[in-house]
Amino acid sequence: MADITFSNPEYKDKTVYAVAGSHTETVLKIAKGNRIPVEFDCENGECGSCVIHVTSLDKDKPRMGYHLTEKEKQVLKEIGKLSSEDLEKMIVDDLPSEWRLACQFIPRDEDVLIEY
Ligand code: FES
């Protein structure tokens, strides 16, 4: 149960409501279902073309911890969005990553801004 606002300088921002209990839909699937042109290729967490920047819009709550899949860690490192130090810090401090792959990221009950 969350509002997801998609933002890109070339398009108007669009906010969609992710239905409660639908914790199986990735951001890419939600974007496609709402005709939001998030780029993608493999849809399997391997190419990095669907990289997104995620920010919480729930200013009163701390960001929810999301765990990156091993594939995401690898790809985000390869495309230069995360370093080994960033990954280590996220694990030690239990912090979520601001960079995700839309085809792997399943939003939870948190309002987020997705920049693509
Ligand atoms: S579409 Fe290839 S990593 Fe998401």
Given a contact cutoff of 8 angstroms between Cβ atoms, the answer to whether 27 and 100 are in contact is yes
Given a contact cutoff of 8 angstroms between Cβ atoms, the answer to whether 77 and 67 are in contact is no
Phi, psi (deg, nearest 5) at residue 32: -60, -40
pLDDT digits (tens, 9 = 90+) for 20-46: 555 688 999 999 999 999 999 999 999
* Residue 111 DSSP symbol: -
Q: What is the pTM of this model?
A: 0.90
Ligand 1 closest atom vs CA 39:
1
pLDDT digits (tens, 9 = 90+) for 42-71: 999 999 999 999 998 887 777 766 678 888
Does the Cβ of 47 fall within 6 Å of ligand 1? yes
| Residue range 85-103: mean pLDDT, rounded | 90
Domains by residue range for the chain, with CATH = 2-115 (3.10.20.30)
Does the Cβ of 41 fall within 6 Å of ligand 1? yes
Does the Cβ of 76 fall within 6 Å of ligand 1? no
